[in-house]
Structure 1
Amino acid sequence: MSDSTDPKPVAAFYCATFLKPEMLHIYRQITGLRRLHPIVIAQKRENVDLFPFDKIDIVAKPSLHFLRRFWFRQIRNNPWQISAAELRSLIEVLNRQNAQLLHIFFGHIAVHLLPLIRAWSKPSIVSFHGADVLVDMEKPAYRKTTKQMLDAVTRVFVRSASLQRAVVELGCEENKIDIVRTGIPLNEFPFREREFPTNGEWRFVQASRLIEKKGLATTLHAFTTFLSHY
Structure 2
Amino acid sequence: MKQTIAHFLHEKMKINQRFIYNQMVHLKKYRPIMIGSFADDGIHPFPLINYYRLNDIDDFGRFAKEQNIVAIHAHHGKHAVEILPLCIAHRIPLVVSIRGRDGSAKHQSLRRNQKRYHLLKQHGALFLPVCRYLANELITLGFPPKKIQVLYGGIELDLFPYRERTIPANGDIIILSIGRLVEKKGFLTLVRAFWRVHAVHPRCRLRIIGSGKEEENIRRLVSELKLDPFVDLLGAMDAASIAREMERAHLFCLASETASDGDIEGIPNVLKEAMASGLPVVSTNHAGIPELIEHKRTGYLAPERDDLELANGIRFFLEHPERIPSFTKKARKVIEQRFDITKQIKVQERLYDEFIKKTR
Shift of 1:194: 5.3
Structure 1 gap segments, 5+ residues each: 1-5, 62-85
1:51 counterpart = 2:46: yes
Cα distance in 2 for partners of 1:103, 1:195 equals 43
Structure 2 gap segments, 5+ residues each: 180-184, 186-255, 258-285, 291-298, 303-309, 322-360
2:134 paired residue number: 163
1:229 paired residue number: 320
Bigger drift between 121-130 and 26-35 goes to 121-130
2:13 paired residue number: 19
Cα distance in 2 for partners of 1:164, 1:195 equals 37
1:11-160 matched pairs, under 5 angstroms: 11-44=5-38, 45=40, 48=43, 50-60=45-55, 90-134=60-104, 137=109, 143-160=114-131
Bigger drift between 200-209 and 9-18 goes to 200-209
Aligned residues: 198
What RMSD over aligned residues (CA atoms) do the two structures have, in Å? 3.1
SS at structure 2 position matched to 1:125: strand
The letter for the 1-side match of 2:319 is S
Cα-to-partner distance string for 1:28-67 (whole Å, 9 max, x where unaligned): 1111111100000011247745312331101259xxxxxx
The letter for the 2-side match of 1:226 is F
Q: 1:18, 1:46 within 8 Å by CA — same for their partners in 2?
A: no
Q: 1:10 aligns with which of 1, 4, 8?
A: 4
Give the direction of change, closer, same or farther, for the CA distance of 1:47–1:157 in structure 2 (3 Å limit). Answer: farther
Of all paired residues, the percent bearing the same amino acid is 24
1:190 counterpart = 2:161: yes
2:326 paired residue number: none
Q: 2:76, 2:102 within 8 Å by CA — same for their partners in 1?
A: yes
Q: 2:110, 2:141 within 8 Å by CA — same for their partners in 1?
A: no
Shift of 1:191: 3.1
